[in-house]
Amino acid sequence: MRQRGWHISVLIPARNEEDLLPRCLFSIQQARQKLADRVTTDVIVVSDCSRDRTRTLAEAILKDSGIVLETNSGIVGSARAMAAAAAIERCHSPP
């Protein structure tokens, strides 16, 4: 029987974070490289009411290593819940 490893989802609610988000995402990318092979990771960024390049920058940095969602809820809890639901769905979906 094959033993399953760990899966880590990083959830990032963001609003107008074009100045700080790249540093955050690059830091996460570096940390991911230090994890054991049996650990998989996913990054979910939710751009909430952003009027800057938050979404565009996140998509360019993450490429295939995560997803960027968008909402106009204006409530950080809703953005977090949206990210959590997406992370659970991605974790349980077959590759």
Profile the chain (95 residues) by mean pLDDT over runs of 10 residues. 75 97 97 92 96 97 95 96 94 66
Amino acid 3: pLDDT: 53
Q: Are 45 and 66 in contact (CB under 8 A)?
A: yes
Q: Are 56 and 24 in contact (CB under 8 A)?
A: no
Residue 3, φ and ψ in degrees, nearest 5 = -85, 135
Q: Is 68 exposed, middle or buried (0-12, 13-18, 19+ CB in 10 A)?
A: buried
Amino acid 5: pLDDT: 81
Enter the pTM of the model: 0.89
Amino acid 94: pLDDT: 57
Q: Are 45 and 58 in contact (CB under 8 A)?
A: yes
